[in-house]
Amino acid sequence: MFLEQARQDFDALDCAFILELVYGTLRNRALLDWILNRFSAQPVEKTDRWTRNILRLGAYQMLFLNRVPVSAAVNTSVELAKQHGRKHGYVNALLRNLDRKRSAVTYPGPDDKPLQLSILYSHPEWLVRRWTERFGAETTEAFLLANNRPAPLVIRTNTLRTTRNVLKATLSSEGVTAVETSHSPVGLEIVAGYGLQELSSYQKGWFMIQDQAAQLISLMLAPRPGETVLDACAAPGGKAAHLSEIMQNRGMIVALDSDAGRIEKIQENIRRLGITIIKTVQGDAARYSEEKFDKILIDAPCSGLGVLRRHPDGRWNKSMRKISDRGILQTQILKNCVRLLKPGGALVYATCTTEPEENEEVIADFLHRSGNEFMIDDPRPYLPPEAAHLVGNDGFFRTFPRETEMDGFFGVRMIKKS
């Protein structure tokens, strides 16, 4: 939000440069700090907030942006330091020293592989150690590398108004090149052309921006026309809208969210898409108890470790505590929502995180406590054949770490026995 506000008064070229500076610096923060610390008398993280971020921005331009002259990066950093603090001499000396001696910088060696990966790919060391223990160093490195690449821009066709082929052709006529997604039958990946929200096809509600993995979660629920469905944590409404399309805009969907501002975003999206069966409700998914449903989707609030490539700042504000806290909340939401499911009904629990405490362990604990009332249902019959390999022998859907072109999602489909 703040980044978008800051870029409002700049042209497209400058906006792109600002975005590259901010996202690039965040994606490489640990590596930048490691390098800067080789030339600083005190750790960079011990300096004031303005100084350390000015240093990071300057070092990023010097080390990663070939089109920015070193002199320009240093001079701009010094001027910023003059405006924000009293350490412009320190900034000037450190960056110039970095330029002279960058080739002499040494990095952690393979004797401590998690530390090495943590620095080289700029992810928190505690997280890299967890992933290395679970998946091995090679798989972890591949995922860290994918996290540091810009996420693909994927859209979902609004099948209430058009088809994927027609949308693809229309986008081409509007100067946008798109290719069909490899797993979702209604997705398109944008490979050239920007300003999607200015397009006529967007304004007519022909598509919504949504990653492939999120599209597959809605397919797993497989709601039928005429059914009553709860989307328990609905904002910004992408999955609720997709469910409506699957239901041919017939039936009813309650889109529940606790945040009034996010409810407005759902309403804005469904108006543009021409959807009429969604009723937005502001409420707590851990307490909501108004009616019964044929199908329920719980896209549970989580640590978001599966979407770090979209939110590079997120890797620096996650913690083990946040993972465990989210697991408690997820269990509360699941325990409440299953009471709202009709016998014989289906429920999909999903997250965009990678950690067992928020995924497999939540489901194992729930099934243990619910006795024989629920069973895991194989979601593969509801997924396209290209996505069947994403479901393991345990019935769980996982895109992490198998498919790095998609966000890291977890999902499970369960049936309430009659």
CATH classification of the domain holding 167: 3.30.70.1170
Cβ contacts of 312 within 8 Å, gap of 6 or more: 23, 26, 27
Range of weakest confidence among 3-12, 54-63, 233-242, 339-348: 3-12
| Whether residues 309 and 402 fall in one domain | yes
Report the pLDDT value the prediction gives residue 371, as an integer from 0 to 100. 82
CA distance 346 to 197: 35
| Whether residues 187 and 304 fall in one domain | no
| Whether residues 293 and 410 fall in one domain | yes
**More reliable by pLDDT, 67 or 9:** 67
Report the pLDDT value the prediction gives residue 3, as an integer from 0 to 100. 62
Q: Is residue 128 part of a domain?
A: no
pLDDT in tens, 323-369: 999 999 999 999 999 999 999 999 999 999 999 999 999 999 999 98
Confidence at 295, pLDDT banded by 50, 70, 90: very high
What token pair was written down for 196?
Answer: 């999607």
CA distance 166 to 160: 13
Q: Is residue 135 part of a domain?
A: no
- Per the structure, the count of domains in the chain is 3
CATH assignment at residue 76: 1.10.940.10
15 has catalytic annotation = no
* pTM summary value: 0.92
| Whether residues 161 and 55 fall in one domain | no
Mean pLDDT of 118-146: 95
| Whether residues 247 and 381 fall in one domain | yes
Q: Is residue 275 part of a domain?
A: yes
Within a 10 A sphere around the Cβ of 182, how many other Cβ atoms? 14
Examine the pLDDT at 1 and tell me if it is beyond 60.
no
CATH assignment at residue 273: 3.40.50.150
What token pair was written down for 34?
Answer: 């490691």
C-alpha distances in Å from residue 50, one per residue of 17, 47, 54, 73: 20, 8, 6, 16
Q: Which residue has the tokens 């969210």?
A: 257
| Whether residues 269 and 376 fall in one domain | yes
Q: Percentage of the chain surpassing pLDDT 70?
A: 98
Cβ contacts of 354 within 8 Å, gap of 6 or more: 131, 305, 306, 400, 401, 408, 410
| Whether residues 163 and 36 fall in one domain | no
Report the pLDDT value the prediction gives residue 256, as an integer from 0 to 100. 96
Q: Is residue 291 part of a domain?
A: yes
| Whether residues 330 and 243 fall in one domain | yes
Q: Is residue 40 part of a domain?
A: yes
Tell me the angle at which helices 70-83 and 88-101 cross, rounded to the nearest 10 degrees: 160
Q: Is residue 25 part of a domain?
A: yes
Active-site entry in 233, 302, 337, 352: 352
Full domain range(s) for residue 195? 153-209
Q: Is residue 113 part of a domain?
A: no
| Whether residues 185 and 242 fall in one domain | no
| Whether residues 325 and 394 fall in one domain | yes
Final residue in a domain of this structure, among 88, 106, 124: 106
C-alpha distances in Å from residue 227, one per residue of 49, 108, 253, 269, 292: 53, 57, 8, 21, 11
First-to-last CA distance in the chain? 46
CA distance 181 to 174: 20
What token pair was written down for 46?
Answer: 């011990």
| Whether residues 371 and 276 fall in one domain | yes
pLDDT in tens, 266-290: 999 999 999 999 999 999 999 999 8
Final residue in a domain of this structure, among 106, 141, 170: 106
Residue 253 near residue 231, CB atoms below 8 Å: yes
| Whether residues 263 and 299 fall in one domain | yes
Examine the pLDDT at 4 and tell me if it is beyond 70.
no
Q: Is residue 144 part of a domain?
A: no
